[in-house]
Amino acid sequence: MKLKFGALVVIAAMIGLVAPLQATTAKKAESQVGKKVASKPASKLAAKPRTKKVVHVASKTKGAKGTKVTKNSRRQVIANQANSPVRTIANDIDPGRLAIHSSSALVIDQTTGQIVLEKQPDTVVPIASITKLMTAMVVLDAGLDLHEVIAINDEDVDWLKGTRSRLPVGTTMTRETAMLLALMSSENRAANALGRHYPGGLPAFVQAMNRKAASLGMYSSRFEEPTGLSSNNVSTAHDLARMVIAAARYPEIRNYSTTAEARLEIKGRARDFGNTNALVRNDNWEIGISKTGYISEAGRCLVMQAHVAGKPVVIVLLDSNGKMTRVGDANRIKRWMESASVASGRRSA
């Protein structure tokens, strides 16, 4: 892929405060183990090793149906962007060492606001479960009781695409547990339940999502529902970078989105839930906030706030056409930035 080098661009319109990166996953897990997550009946998180959580919930089982959605829109995006150039600011690094396979990408140095790398950063595309970061912010902004028990019902079932869930209809849990599962394991029923239990229900919740987006300067973004299952939830890499920086201000989002795994007891049976981003379990990464996403129209997506080469950065990767492409792109970006840092250090010496 041919690369072109561009000038530094300062994003002055982005969030003024730079959200502090949290420590490693171990610290996050340690801070969470002592939290009370009530359900019916109320219970406490057990002191499982490192990042495991145990939550007791009640449930009853009910079936679900779904329908298929066309993939033509995503295929067209891939065809149009396959040869899009990547622009970087590290013009002393061999461009052949950095191949980004996601259709849209953006890396920003949070300290300076400078763009480190960009590829189609203003293309409007579906964002899938990246949506859940906005869902969590709206819930937290409303100051709703995180220990209030909410229930999964038929309205939370994915009738659009027929995706499966490990939370049967009738499951009850606290709002805090629902947020954990939505951010960590990308549980769609948990995310929809969060929106449904908002004052005024889902219509009011969606309005609040779009108001929040506008307040953050996400002018190319639109939200239709709280899970990301709808391809009408759209944004750009630039807008999502704004959203990641804003979401990183919330301790709950930082903690829950980077929790590696949790154990949920449903009707006396323990079920393990894992983070959809394998990089949170990688000791080579120091991640402060994380969210993945996937529907056929959006491809594989990943947003993170992390420390890379000694810098706090925001990474946005959208429409990766392959199960491991987004992780591969993230690792390539990390190695590339570390190489640039080493080269810069040698010149300074």
Question: Catalytic residue numbers?
Answer: 129, 132, 186
Amino acid at 204: A
Residue 254 and residue 247: Cα distance in Å, rounded? Answer: 8
Q: Name the residue with tokens 């301790």.
A: 251
Q: Do residues 256 and 179 touch, judged by C-beta distance below 8 A?
A: yes
Residue 338 and residue 344: Cα distance in Å, rounded? Answer: 10
Residue 73 and residue 95: Cα distance in Å, rounded? Answer: 30
Cβ-in-10-Å burial (0-12, 13-18, 19+) of 307 comes to: middle
Q: Do residues 178 and 190 touch, judged by C-beta distance below 8 A?
A: yes
